[in-house]
Protein backbone atom coordinates (compact mmCIF):
# COMPACT_ATOMS: atom_id res chain seq x y z
CA UNK A 1 0.00 0.00 0.00
CA UNK A 2 1.32 3.40 -0.96
CA UNK A 3 2.06 5.96 1.74
CA UNK A 4 -1.22 7.33 3.07
CA UNK A 5 -1.58 10.63 4.90
CA UNK A 6 -2.88 10.80 8.45
CA UNK A 7 -5.79 12.90 7.22
CA UNK A 8 -6.82 10.21 4.72
CA UNK A 9 -6.71 7.50 7.40
CA UNK A 10 -8.83 9.65 9.69
CA UNK A 11 -11.37 10.12 6.88
CA UNK A 12 -11.56 6.36 6.32
CA UNK A 13 -11.86 5.62 10.02
CA UNK A 14 -14.58 8.25 10.38
CA UNK A 15 -16.49 6.63 7.51
CA UNK A 16 -16.20 3.21 9.15
CA UNK A 17 -17.34 4.62 12.50
CA UNK A 18 -20.23 6.67 11.14
CA UNK A 19 -21.42 4.59 8.17
CA UNK A 20 -20.45 1.11 9.46
CA UNK A 21 -18.37 0.47 6.32
CA UNK A 22 -15.68 1.95 4.12
CA UNK A 23 -14.42 1.11 0.62
CA UNK A 24 -10.76 1.81 -0.21
CA UNK A 25 -9.56 1.44 -3.80
CA UNK A 26 -6.00 0.41 -4.74
CA UNK A 27 -5.34 -0.90 -1.24
CA UNK A 28 -2.81 -3.33 -2.74
CA UNK A 29 0.10 -2.13 -4.83
CA UNK A 30 0.90 -3.96 -8.06
CA UNK A 31 3.60 -6.17 -6.54
CA UNK A 32 1.57 -7.38 -3.55
CA UNK A 33 -1.53 -7.82 -5.71
CA UNK A 34 0.34 -9.97 -8.24
CA UNK A 35 1.89 -12.04 -5.47
CA UNK A 36 -1.43 -12.66 -3.74
CA UNK A 37 -3.32 -13.42 -6.95
CA UNK A 38 -0.61 -15.82 -8.13
CA UNK A 39 -0.73 -17.62 -4.77
CA UNK A 40 -4.53 -17.81 -5.05
CA UNK A 41 -4.40 -19.32 -8.55
CA UNK A 42 -1.73 -21.83 -7.51
CA UNK A 43 -3.82 -23.08 -4.59
CA UNK A 44 -6.90 -23.20 -6.79
CA UNK A 45 -5.02 -25.13 -9.45
CA UNK A 46 -3.84 -27.64 -6.84
CA UNK A 47 -7.44 -28.16 -5.68
CA UNK A 48 -6.68 -26.96 -2.15
CA UNK A 49 -9.97 -25.13 -1.63
CA UNK A 50 -12.79 -26.73 0.40
CA UNK A 51 -16.54 -25.99 0.40
CA UNK A 52 -17.29 -23.27 2.94
CA UNK A 53 -19.66 -23.85 5.83
CA UNK A 54 -22.04 -21.65 7.77
CA UNK A 55 -22.37 -21.25 11.52
CA UNK A 56 -19.81 -21.87 14.25
CA UNK A 57 -19.03 -24.50 16.86
CA UNK A 58 -21.86 -27.07 17.08
CA UNK A 59 -23.87 -25.17 14.45
CA UNK A 60 -21.16 -25.40 11.77
CA UNK A 61 -22.41 -27.22 8.66
CA UNK A 62 -22.41 -27.15 4.86
CA UNK A 63 -25.39 -25.74 2.97
CA UNK A 64 -24.57 -24.91 -0.63
CA UNK A 65 -28.14 -23.75 -1.22
CA UNK A 66 -27.22 -20.75 0.95
CA UNK A 67 -23.44 -20.45 0.50
CA UNK A 68 -21.55 -21.66 -2.56
CA UNK A 69 -17.96 -20.49 -2.16
CA UNK A 70 -14.86 -22.61 -1.58
CA UNK A 71 -12.15 -21.46 0.80
CA UNK A 72 -8.51 -21.94 1.67
CA UNK A 73 -7.75 -20.87 5.25
CA UNK A 74 -4.52 -18.90 5.58
CA UNK A 75 -1.85 -19.53 8.21
CA UNK A 76 1.03 -17.07 8.42
CA UNK A 77 3.35 -19.81 9.71
CA UNK A 78 2.62 -22.04 6.72
CA UNK A 79 1.84 -19.59 3.95
CA UNK A 80 5.00 -17.54 4.36
CA UNK A 81 4.97 -16.58 0.68
CA UNK A 82 2.27 -14.11 1.69
CA UNK A 83 4.35 -12.33 4.34
CA UNK A 84 3.87 -8.93 2.62
CA UNK A 85 0.10 -9.45 2.72
CA UNK A 86 0.13 -10.35 6.41
CA UNK A 87 2.33 -7.33 7.12
CA UNK A 88 -0.17 -5.13 5.30
CA UNK A 89 -3.03 -6.49 7.42
CA UNK A 90 -1.03 -5.93 10.62
CA UNK A 91 -0.39 -2.36 9.48
CA UNK A 92 -4.11 -1.92 8.86
CA UNK A 93 -4.85 -3.22 12.37
CA UNK A 94 -2.35 -0.76 13.81
CA UNK A 95 -4.02 2.13 12.00
CA UNK A 96 -7.52 1.13 13.12
CA UNK A 97 -6.38 0.70 16.71
CA UNK A 98 -4.60 4.06 16.62
CA UNK A 99 -7.38 6.11 15.07
CA UNK A 100 -10.48 4.17 16.12
CA UNK A 101 -9.42 2.64 19.47
CA UNK A 102 -10.89 -0.72 18.49
CA UNK A 103 -8.52 -2.91 20.50
CA UNK A 104 -8.06 -5.39 17.66
CA UNK A 105 -5.81 -8.22 18.86
CA UNK A 106 -5.56 -10.58 15.87
CA UNK A 107 -7.08 -11.57 12.56
CA UNK A 108 -8.19 -14.68 10.68
CA UNK A 109 -8.51 -14.94 6.93
CA UNK A 110 -9.06 -17.22 3.99
CA UNK A 111 -8.99 -17.11 0.22
CA UNK A 112 -12.52 -17.33 -1.18
CA UNK A 113 -13.42 -18.68 -4.61
CA UNK A 114 -16.97 -18.40 -5.93
CA UNK A 115 -17.48 -20.64 -8.98
CA UNK A 116 -19.83 -19.45 -11.72
CA UNK A 117 -23.44 -19.46 -10.52
CA UNK A 118 -22.69 -19.39 -6.79
CA UNK A 119 -23.62 -16.81 -4.15
CA UNK A 120 -23.90 -16.30 -0.39
CA UNK A 121 -27.29 -15.44 1.08
CA UNK A 122 -27.89 -12.51 3.41
CA UNK A 123 -26.16 -12.98 6.77
CA UNK A 124 -24.19 -11.28 9.55
CA UNK A 125 -20.55 -12.24 10.21
CA UNK A 126 -20.81 -12.20 14.00
CA UNK A 127 -21.79 -15.65 15.29
CA UNK A 128 -24.24 -16.02 18.18
CA UNK A 129 -22.01 -18.68 19.75
CA UNK A 130 -18.71 -16.94 18.96
CA UNK A 131 -18.55 -13.16 19.17
CA UNK A 132 -14.88 -12.51 18.42
CA UNK A 133 -15.20 -10.70 15.08
CA UNK A 134 -15.07 -6.90 15.14
CA UNK A 135 -14.39 -5.85 11.54
CA UNK A 136 -14.90 -7.84 8.35
CA UNK A 137 -12.57 -7.23 5.41
CA UNK A 138 -12.65 -8.29 1.78
CA UNK A 139 -9.75 -7.72 -0.60
CA UNK A 140 -10.74 -8.35 -4.21
CA UNK A 141 -8.55 -10.10 -6.79
CA UNK A 142 -10.83 -9.99 -9.84
CA UNK A 143 -8.86 -8.80 -12.84
CA UNK A 144 -10.89 -6.96 -15.44
CA UNK A 145 -14.19 -7.16 -13.58
CA UNK A 146 -17.02 -5.47 -15.50
CA UNK A 147 -20.72 -4.83 -15.09
CA UNK A 148 -22.63 -8.06 -15.69
CA UNK A 149 -19.94 -10.28 -14.17
CA UNK A 150 -21.89 -10.40 -10.90
CA UNK A 151 -20.53 -11.27 -7.49
CA UNK A 152 -21.17 -7.83 -6.01
CA UNK A 153 -21.32 -7.39 -2.26
CA UNK A 154 -24.68 -6.04 -1.12
CA UNK A 155 -24.72 -4.25 2.23
CA UNK A 156 -28.05 -3.74 4.01
CA UNK A 157 -28.83 -0.64 6.08
CA UNK A 158 -31.94 0.44 7.93
CA UNK A 159 -32.61 3.04 5.24
CA UNK A 160 -31.35 1.32 2.11
CA UNK A 161 -28.75 -0.86 0.41
CA UNK A 162 -25.28 -0.43 -1.06
CA UNK A 163 -23.73 -2.47 -3.88
CA UNK A 164 -19.95 -2.82 -3.86
CA UNK A 165 -18.32 -4.03 -7.06
CA UNK A 166 -15.57 -6.66 -6.56
CA UNK A 167 -12.84 -4.67 -8.30
CA UNK A 168 -9.20 -5.79 -8.12
CA UNK A 169 -7.05 -4.25 -5.34
CA UNK A 170 -10.13 -2.84 -3.56
CA UNK A 171 -10.71 -3.51 0.15
CA UNK A 172 -14.06 -3.29 1.91
CA UNK A 173 -14.19 -2.97 5.70
CA UNK A 174 -17.43 -3.19 7.67
CA UNK A 175 -18.62 -3.89 11.20
CA UNK A 176 -19.04 -7.64 11.62
CA UNK A 177 -21.88 -7.49 14.13
CA UNK A 178 -23.86 -4.66 12.52
CA UNK A 179 -24.18 -5.02 8.76
CA UNK A 180 -26.18 -7.81 7.14
CA UNK A 181 -24.76 -8.51 3.69
CA UNK A 182 -24.82 -10.96 0.82
CA UNK A 183 -22.74 -11.91 -2.19
CA UNK A 184 -24.80 -11.80 -5.37
CA UNK A 185 -24.64 -14.65 -7.87
CA UNK A 186 -21.44 -14.49 -9.86
CA UNK A 187 -21.30 -15.03 -13.61
CA UNK A 188 -17.51 -15.43 -13.63
CA UNK A 189 -15.12 -16.98 -11.12
CA UNK A 190 -14.86 -14.57 -8.18
CA UNK A 191 -11.61 -14.28 -6.20
CA UNK A 192 -10.95 -12.56 -2.88
CA UNK A 193 -9.13 -12.65 0.40
CA UNK A 194 -11.76 -12.45 3.12
CA UNK A 195 -10.91 -11.95 6.77
CA UNK A 196 -11.97 -10.72 10.16
CA UNK A 197 -10.22 -8.47 12.64
CA UNK A 198 -10.64 -9.96 16.10
CA UNK A 199 -10.88 -8.69 19.66
CA UNK A 200 -9.15 -11.85 20.98
CA UNK A 201 -6.45 -14.15 19.50
CA UNK A 202 -7.72 -16.35 16.70
CA UNK A 203 -6.67 -19.65 18.32
CA UNK A 204 -8.73 -22.33 16.56
CA UNK A 205 -11.19 -19.97 14.97
CA UNK A 206 -10.07 -20.84 11.44
CA UNK A 207 -11.43 -24.37 11.97
CA UNK A 208 -14.88 -23.16 12.86
CA UNK A 209 -15.97 -21.18 9.81
Does residue 193 lie in a domain region? yes
pLDDT in the model for residue 127: 62
pLDDT > 50? residue 208: no
pLDDT class for 61, splitting at 50, 70, 90?
Answer: low
> Is there a domain that residue 208 lies in?
no
| E strands present in the chain | 21-24, 50-51, 70-73, 106-114, 120-123, 133-140, 153-157, 160-164, 171-175, 181-183, 190-198
Judge whether 111 lies within some domain.
Answer: yes
* pLDDT, tens only, 24-60: 999 999 999 999 999 999 999 999 999 986 655 445 5
Structural domain boundaries, residue 20: 6-202
209 within some domain = no
Q: CATH number of the domain that 120 lies in?
A: 2.60.120.620
Number of domains in the chain: 1
Q: Which of 54, 51, 49 is nearest to 72 (CA)?
A: 49
Dihedral sign for Cα atoms in the order 31, 33, 39, 44: negative
The more confidently predicted of residues 181 and 200 is 181
Is the residue at 1 inside a domain?
no
Instruction: Enter the DSSP assignment of 19.
Output: H
Distance CA 191, CA 110 (A): 11
Q: Is residue 164, in this structure, part of any structural domain at all?
A: yes
What is the pLDDT, as a whole number, of residue 54? 66
Contact (CB, 8 A) for 200 and 132: yes
Q: How far apart are CA 156 and CA 172, in angstroms?
A: 14
- Does a structural domain hold residue 94? yes
- Average pLDDT of the residues in 155-167: 97
CA 169, CA 167: separation in Å to the nearest integer?
A: 7
163 falls within a domain: yes
The secondary structure of 82-119, three-state, reads: HHHHHHHHHHHHHHHHHHHCCCCCEEEEEEEEECCCCC
CA 134 from centre of chain? 12
Amino acid sequence: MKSISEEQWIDWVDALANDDYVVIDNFLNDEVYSQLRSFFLTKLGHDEFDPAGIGALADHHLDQSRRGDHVYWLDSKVDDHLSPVFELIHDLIGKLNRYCYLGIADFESHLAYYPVGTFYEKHVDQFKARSNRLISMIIYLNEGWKAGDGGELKLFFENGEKLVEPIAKRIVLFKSDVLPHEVLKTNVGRYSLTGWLLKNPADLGFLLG
